[in-house]
A and B are shown apart, each in its own frame.
Chain A
């Protein structure tokens, strides 16, 4: 089945630093990837839709200058949290659309900003 690899799985950083999260589709090409954020005991909230070769589409309320998304190839999308602050601490999950409607998720990245 389709596999989406996400790294790192956990990162702890100091306030003000930037963190990059990678999302790779290992056995299929993904023209579209999605980035979600999930706070404890809350649902997944879509942050942005990443399209290969073009600018990402951000959901309302998500700062595009803070959450930089790059989808440089059909198998790789990256999310960079710039100047991270404690309120950015969350579980970040990427997903990629496989064959048909199926959406496959990465393993997630737990970000803790001190």
Chain B
């Protein structure tokens, strides 16, 4: 079982819609959860991080964490074509103390 799993996509949404990106993790002791955006040929950039169960909102982005279900998601409201990128879920803590484990990423395509 992969440590961090994401659907590779692509996830296609029209401009203005809500994009929902999902991620599950296997290490129940994981403490910190991150969402990164990566454009093709570029390095990842941090969008959001979340530590506690529930929702965390930042502008058009909302991260949702459910530790009981070992599930973290990212919602992007009012999606824009510029949001088209690969979104990487990353998990830290638990047995791999310093290590940040990345999922394979979900490719998001926002059509005008």
Interface residue ranges, A against B (CB under 8 Å): 6, 32, 34, 41-46, 49, 91, 93, 101-108, 110
Contact = CB atoms under 8 A, between A and B. Distances in A.
B43 A43 contact: no
Interface in B11-63: 32, 34, 41-46, 49, 51
A105 B45 contact: yes
A107 to B, nearest CB: 5
Contacts of A108: 41-43
A45 B100 CA distance: 9
A41 B45 CA distance: 17
B46 to A, nearest CB: 6
B104 A101 contact: no
A104 B46 contact: yes
Contacts, number: 43
A103 B98 contact: no
B4 to A, nearest CB: 8
B45 A44 contact: no
29 contacts: A6-B43, A32-B98, A41-B8, A42-B104, A43-B102, A43-B103, A43-B104, A43-B105, A44-B44, A44-B102, A45-B102, A46-B100, A46-B101, A49-B99, A93-B44, A101-B32, A101-B34, A101-B49, A101-B51, A103-B46, A103-B100, A104-B46, A105-B44, A105-B45, A107-B43, A108-B41, A108-B42, A108-B43, A110-B41
